[in-house]
Amino acid sequence: MVKIAFGNFGDSFSVGSLKAYLSEFIATLLFVFAGVGSAIAYSKLTADAALDPPGLVAVAVAHAFALFVGVSIAANISGGHLNPAVTFGLAIGGHITLLTGLFYWIAQSLGSIVACLLLKFVTNGKSIPTHGVASGVNAFEGVVFEIVITFGLVYTVYATAADPKKGSLGIIAPIAIGFIVGANILAAGPFSGGSMNPARSLGPAVVSGDFSQIWIYWLGPLIGGGLAGLVYGDIFIGSYSPAPSSEEYA
């Protein structure tokens, strides 16, 4: 069964934990800088034209590449979450305590905000694009979109990184995680924006001052991440039993 633990302040403020928070801050900053920066760059190159298919592909690829790198550089220190929904999903499965997870959220959110502030500065004040549902898509549909695609992301994290039986599959975990994010942006970008990451949406909202739809990008991803933690953690990881101690399995 899944195991949720609150944790204690001693563990959450240990040297290792503090290093993990710094790692999450830096990795999230680099990921958001590249991801949001790609959208700003596209806007500059097309004179603020509406996002077209080539632009969508470019933004999706930029996010996929940046997340692949971000997860890789943080994996050995913090686990490479870079996303409050991933952290929440892993907390549901007992892979991180709720208290430590809260500090991960703070580090990830600050990393995203600082990334967007830097982008605002280095682009000479260009507007920071925020997530929002497209015309013809209502808020409920946007939340469901984010639930589904975030479920796919966190399920991938579990299957390739958190599963104790992953074996050599863990080597490609950052690639798989980056790929599923890129693919989901291609699918959901024209509808919900394809966030999957509350921190990724929070930074632009804070810097632009537009919080009108930010709740969609916290509610949807947290539900999706939590469901993935329940399904994979309880049904699959929770059902594992040790192999029989027998010469047949030697």
Question: Tens digit of pLDDT for each residue in 175-190?
Answer: 999 999 999 999 999 9
Burial, 82: exposed, middle or buried (Cβ in 10 Å; 0-12, 13-18, 19+)?
Answer: buried
Are the C-beta atoms of 216 and 196 separated by less than 8 Å?
no
Q: Is 65 exposed, middle or buried (0-12, 13-18, 19+ CB in 10 A)?
A: middle
Provide, rounded to the nearest whole percent, the portion of the chain with pLDDT above 70. 94
Q: How far is CA 227 from the centre of its chain?
A: 15
**Token pair 């939590």 in the structure block, residue:** 226
Res 38: pLDDT: 97
The CA distance from 174 to 178, in Å, is 6
Among 4-8, 41-45, 137-141, whose mean pLDDT is lowest? 4-8
pLDDT at 87 over 90: yes
Cα of first residue to Cα of last residue in the chain, in angstroms, is 28
Structural domains of the chain in order of their starting residue, each with its CATH number: 9-237 (1.20.1080.10)
Mean pLDDT of 158-167: 95
Q: DSSP of 211-242, one letter per residue?
A: -TTTTHHHHHHHHHHHHHHHIIIIIIGGG--P
Note the pLDDT tens digit of each residue in 202-217.
Answer: 999 999 999 999 999 9
Its pTM stands at 0.94
Q: How far apart are CA 48 and CA 203, in angstroms?
A: 21
Residue 1's pLDDT is 57
pLDDT, tens digit, 9 for 90 and up, residues 117-158: 999 999 999 999 999 999 999 999 999 999 999 999 999 999
